[in-house]
Amino acid sequence: MRWVVGNWKMHTTPSEAKQLARQLWRLLKSACIGPEVGLRVVVCPPFTSLEAVRRVLARTRLEWGAQTCHEEVQGAYTGEISARMLSELGCTLVLVGHSERRRYAAETDERIAQKLFRVVEFGMHAVLCVGETWHERERGQTVTVLEQQLERGLAAVTQALWPQVLIAYEPVWAIGTGVTALPEQIAEAHTQIRQILHRLGAPESVPILYGGSVSAAAVSNIITQPEVHGVLVGGASLRSGEFNAIVRTVAAHRCS
């Protein structure tokens, strides 16, 4: 299975999200996508736009998910959203541990592990985001960072839960910068992640996505690298034409 996941971040009001979702489906309804052909396409709008997107995509082959959730099912956590709430909205996927959440919301690996467990507990797929900063890469700490984030973030995953887990390698230095990691850097990191997953007892089927300034121009070189099973798209997912091109490129590699 290959995946294309669009992270809309803090963009789109409900009316804007509704329009974007309609544009995406109009462009993608003829594409070779859907679980039955081995390519799942998911968009992750802000919480306030989820219902609007759900109404547009409910009877299409496009799926919708969320950008994060709280680690508790319910309680006195003002302003938070639980996995239980997202599940009832029809979300099929939730991002956990995105570098922007680690940085701006001070999320720890331990808290991320709890979130991941809640997501899979409610039947959704969890995308665990991992990646190093440029400073860490320059100091030769990439593997150490990946090992720590994966070991701690996946601490609550049992053998029965692995089918609901995805990994997204997002080098922090490439997110929102317009700089995409070189193909050999992507291949090296994804191979290292696979080796770490093997040590943790994960099956070979756990998908590893690449994220970090993914564009229509770069996606072909990304998706052909070893151990790359899809992409997590940021800014380009807000441009319907470019997201369509990204999905169709991945589909061409998967469905040819």
The 10s digit of each residue's pLDDT in 81-102 is 999 999 999 999 999 999 999 9
Instruction: Write out pLDDT tens, residues 50-69.
Output: 999 999 999 999 999 999 99
Q: Quote the pLDDT of residue 174.
A: 79
Band the pLDDT of 228: cuts 50, 70, 90. Answer: very high
What local confidence, expressed as pLDDT, does residue 256 receive?
43
Catalytic amino acids? 98, 170
Question: Residue 143: is its pLDDT beyond 90?
Answer: yes
- The residues, ordered by sequence, that sit 6+ positions from 65 with a Cβ below 8 Å of its Cβ are 5, 42, 43, 44, 86, 91, 92, 93, 94, 95, 124, 125
Residue 242 domain-assigned? Answer: no
Q: Is residue 244 part of a domain?
A: no
pLDDT digits (tens, 9 = 90+) for 154-213: 999 999 999 999 999 999 887 777 777 899 999 999 999 999 999 999 999 999 999 988
What is the pLDDT, as a whole number, of residue 173?
A: 83
CB of 31 closer than 8 Å to CB of 247? yes
**Percentage of residues in the chain having pLDDT higher than 90:** 93
Q: Which pLDDT score, from 0 to 100, does residue 184 have?
A: 94
224 in any annotated domain: yes
Confidence of residue 233 (pLDDT cuts 50, 70, 90): very high
Tell me, yes or no, whether 148 lies in a domain.
yes
Query: Is the residue at 245 inside a domain?
Result: no
Q: Confirm whether 160 is domain-assigned.
A: yes
* 241 lies in some domain: no
Q: What is the pLDDT of residues 103-112, one digit of tens each?
A: 999 999 999 9
**CATH number of the domain where residue 183 is located:** 3.20.20.70
**Residue 126 belongs to domain spanning:** 2-236+250-255
Q: What share of the chain has pLDDT > 70, as a percent?
A: 99
Assess if residue 225 is contained within a domain.
Answer: yes
Mean pLDDT of the chain, nearest integer = 96
Q: How many domains does the chain have?
A: 1
Query: For the residues of 127-166, what is the DSSP string, one character each?
Result: EEEE---HHHHHTT-HHHHHHHHHHHHTTT--GGGGGGEE
pLDDT at 34 over 90: yes
